[in-house]
Amino acid sequence: MRYFLALLSISYLGASLCIWGLSGMVPWFLLPDFPFLSIVFAGLFVSGPAGFLCALLPALIREITTSAPSWSMFLGSMALYFAAREIGCRFLLRDEPSLLIAVVSLMALESLSMVLLLAAGGSHPFSFLWGAQEAVRIAWTSLIAVPLFLDLSSRWRRVQD
């Protein structure tokens, strides 16, 4: 229950801080996606039904706070959870480089899937500048994820022991 509340509070407080507190002062690509981080952490480190429940509410927060077509962000977030869960089951992610690679690849995969979905829908709002901004967003969010994930996972291991 503590894990669920911790991930829910990180995703909600991070999303509210980024959307309502910093969105007018900081460019969008410098705002980390805390619900994304909560979903990926739940997939990588929280096993069983508890991980699914920990990812469910941050996925709803992402659905509510983004301007994507209906249910696309929620379904994409749940797919992200299952992809993170597969990575967490197959690889031992306890050091910084492996965590960074996992988060960067998941975030890049999510960005690529959104681009493909929007392109399949007929819109082409993407440019070189958008690609550079997306690369900065991926790098910034991934760099925040590494110390956050290592701290939370070490605390979780101590609680379990």
* CATH match for 2-160 among 1.10.1760, 1.20.120, 2.40.50, 3.30.870: 1.10.1760
Stretch 36-47: mean pLDDT, rounded? 88
| Structure tokens given for 111 | 């960005």
Give me the phi and psi of 150, to 5 degrees please: -65, -40
| Beta strand spans in 97-152 (E) | none
Return d(Cα 26, Cα 137) in angstroms, integer. Answer: 12
In whole angstroms, how far apart are CA 42 and each of 63, 77, 88?
17, 12, 10
Average pLDDT, the chain: 82
Give the pLDDT band (50/70/90) at residue 78: very high
- CA trace torsion 7, 9, 10, 14 (10° rounding): 150
| Structure tokens given for 82 | 């299952």
Q: How many Cα atoms sit within 13 Å of 14 on the Cβ side?
A: 23
3-92-77 Cα angle (round to 5): 50
| Structure tokens given for 91 | 């690889």
Question: What residue segments make up the domains of the chain, in order of their start?
Answer: 2-160
Residue whose structure tokens are 């077509």: 69
Give the pLDDT band (50/70/90) at residue 62: confident
pTM score > 0.95 for this model?
A: no
